[in-house]
Amino acid sequence: MHNYLTPLAGKLFLSRRLLFVGLFASGLIAQGQAPLPPSPDQDSTLDLSHYMGPGVFSSGAGNIGERAGAPLGFRVYGSLSGVYDDYLQAAKVDSTGKLASTSSEVGVEVGFGVVGTHVTRRSKLGLDYHGAYRRYNADLLNGSDQGVQLGYTMLLSKHFILDLHEVGGTYVYGGSGPGALITSDPGTGLNLTSQILDSRVNYIRSSADITYRATARTFYTFGGHGYFQEPKGAGLSKTYGYDANARATHRVNRDVNVGGSYRFSQMYFPISDGNSHTHALEATFSTVFDRRWLFAVEAGASVVNVQNNLTIRLEPALAAIFGPTVTFRNISQSVYPSGLVSLNRNFKTSTIGIVYSRSISSGNGLYTASRQQGFDGRVTYSGFQRWTLGLYARYGSLISIGQNLGSYGGYSGGGFAAYTLGHGMNLTGDYNYNHQTISSGSFNRSGNRLQFGLQFSKGKRPVGLF
Nearest to 461 by CA among 81, 115, 181: 115
Could you tell me which CATH number the domain at 2-457 has?
Answer: 2.40.160
By C-alpha distance, which of 94, 107, 101, 96 is closest to 142?
107
What pLDDT shows up at residue 188? 58
Please give the pLDDT value at position 284: 94
Q: Which tops the pLDDT comparison, 91 or 114?
A: 114
What local confidence, expressed as pLDDT, does residue 300 receive? 96
Q: Is the pLDDT of residue 385 over 60?
A: yes
The DSSP secondary-structure symbol of 198 reads B
Residues 6 or more apart in contact with residue 92 via CB below 8 angstroms: 99, 100, 140
Q: What is the dihedral of CA 283, 289, 294, 295, to 10 degrees?
A: -40
Q: What is the pLDDT of residue 319?
A: 64
Greater model confidence, 73 or 252: 252
Q: How far apart are CA 239 and CA 234, in angstroms?
A: 15
pLDDT band at 389 (very low <50, low <70, confident <90, very high): very high
Q: Strand 143-155 relative to strand 160-171: parallel, antiparallel, unpaired?
A: antiparallel
Better-predicted residue by pLDDT, 175 or 338? 338
Picking from 150, 149, 128, 160, the residue whose alpha carbon sits closest to that of residue 51 is 160
Q: Is the pLDDT of residue 221 over 80?
A: yes
Q: How confident is the model at residue 199 (pLDDT cuts 50, 70, 90)?
A: confident
Q: What is the pLDDT of residues 319-328, one digit of tens each?
A: 655 577 766 5
Which pLDDT score, from 0 to 100, does residue 365 have?
78
**What confidence category does residue 258 fall into, taking pLDDT thresholds of 50, 70 and 90?**
very high
Q: 1 versus 437: which is more confidently predicted?
A: 437
* Reported confidence tier of residue 413, pLDDT bands at 50, 70, 90: very high
| Exposure class string for 61-90: b at 16+ Cβ within 10 A, else e | bbbbbbbbbebbeebebebebebebebbbb
Instruction: Kindly report, residue by residue over 122-169, the tens digit of the pLDDT.
Output: 888 999 998 989 888 877 678 888 889 999 999 898 899 999 999 998
Mean pLDDT (the chain, rounded): 79
Note the pLDDT of residue 119: 87
Distance separating alpha carbons of residues 256 and 286, to the nearest angstrom: 6
pLDDT at 317 (0 to 100): 52
Band (pLDDT 50/70/90 cuts) for residue 438 is confident
Task: Report helix, strand and coil shares of the chain as percent, to nearest 5.
Answer: 10, 60, 30
466 or 230: which leads in pLDDT: 230
Give 459's pLDDT tier (boundaries 50, 70, 90).
confident
Q: Which of 366, 389, 413 is nearest to 181 (CA)?
A: 413
**Per-residue pLDDT averaged across 360-380, rounded?**
87
What's the mean pLDDT in 363-385?
A: 87
pLDDT digits (tens, 9 = 90+) for 6-64: 443 444 334 444 433 343 343 333 333 333 333 333 333 344 444 555 555 557 777 78
Most confident of 3-7, 249-253, 362-366: 249-253
Is 171 a residue whose pLDDT tops 80?
Answer: yes
- pTM (two decimals): 0.80
